Amino acid sequence: MAENAPGIEAWKEHTSAFDRVRSVAEAVTQPRSASSIADEALVAENTARSHLERLVEMNVLLKTDREGTALYTPDPLYVRIRTLRDLLEEYDHDGLIGLKADLQKRIETWREEYHVDAPETLRERAAGAEQVEQTSEIRTIASEWELTRYRLTIVEDAIENYGTYSRDDRATA
């Protein structure tokens, strides 16, 4: 990240080093080294490593070792629980049921449009596509389907356990 890019100085001025490291580390899709995260968070590598270790202790990140290098990635359990909490803050019980129906409808539409039952089958179709645009479109839909299916499991968890998880008296479960 270029340090003179618009907004960088404001980000550094108004965000602590810990929050910048956390922000970058929580957004990675592949395990990354402390050095890589430090570069993007605009902190020294030792600072990043210290904050990353704290995030591992807090169960926000997972730490793995690849050829002697520590790599960090978001803990999937933490991500799931955070998403669940966000859903419960945004929707009441009826709203969650409506969201479930919307997600189910989206999946059903893909099933009907592509005549497949799962995104994995759609990915196989992408491998056989002859045009780059078609391959890209099918891969994108398969990824959206996988994400929608995952989100649906979280919504179903929120609905099933609404009375237990909810922080207020809206619980009708």
Digit-coded pLDDT (tens) for 85-131: 999 999 999 999 999 999 999 999 999 999 999 999 999 988 888 88
The model's pLDDT over 29-57, given as tens digits with 9 standing for 90+, comes to 999 999 999 999 999 999 999 999 999 99
105 and 149 belong to one structural domain: yes
64 and 82 belong to one structural domain: no
25 and 56 belong to one structural domain: yes
Burial class for 50, CB neighbours closer than 10 Å (0-12, 13-18, 19+): middle
Strands of the sheet containing 69-74, edge to edge, are: 32-33, 69-74, 61-66
Number of domains in the chain: 2
What's the longest Cα–Cα distance across the chain? 55
End-to-end C-alpha distance for the chain, whole angstroms? 47
**Residue 20 CB: number of other CB atoms within 10 A?**
21
Q: Tell whether pTM > 0.85.
A: no
Assigned domain for 170 exists: no
Structure tokens at 37: 């995260």
Q: What DSSP character marks residue 70?
A: E
